[in-house]
């Protein structure tokens, strides 16, 4: 079983659920956090699938892990946990950016 593929699929499912909850279950800042987290996590779940198809496992891991950290901290704040979690959010964002740069480097190597 491919653990990375499993995590990618779960990441996509979580993103859709968070986005739906943000659209229908809460209001205000919490809704915005859920929408933002859901959007970023879903985009990076798809990016992880593309990276896996390219054979670029490291960028795929960064997309999945970064998505969980970035979106997860937003989800937790939306559920009422302390706002200091927002200080962790950029760590996930940095992982996402590094994943994109690594994917670009991998693509250059294939050219």
- Coil/strand/helix, residue 88: coil
CA distance 104 to 97: 11
All structural domains of the chain with their residue ranges:
3-110
Element (H, E) at 45: helix 29-54
Over the chain (111 residues), the average pLDDT of each successive run of 10 is 92 97 95 97 98 95 98 97 96 98 90 62
* CA-closest candidate to residue 68, choices 10, 3, 1: 10
Phi, psi of 81 (to 5 degrees): -75, 165
CA distance 30 to 43: 20
User: What's residue 110's pLDDT?
Assistant: 76
pTM (predicted TM-score) = 0.94
For tokens 């956090």, name the residue: 33
């Amino acid at each position: 079983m491919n653990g990375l593929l499993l995590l990618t699929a779960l990441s996509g499912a979580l993103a859709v659920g968070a986005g739906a909850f943000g659209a229908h279950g809460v209001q205000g800042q919490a809704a915005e956090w859920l929408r933002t987290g859901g959007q970023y996590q879903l985009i990076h779940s798809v990016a992880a699938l593309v990276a896996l198809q390219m054979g670029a496992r490291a960028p795929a891991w960064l997309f999945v892990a970064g998505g969980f950290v970035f979106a997860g901290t937003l989800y937790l704040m939306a559920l009422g946990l302390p706002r200091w979690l927002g200080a962790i959010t950029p760590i996930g964002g940095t992982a996402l950016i590094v994943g994109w740069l690594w994917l670009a480097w991998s693509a250059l190597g294939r050219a």
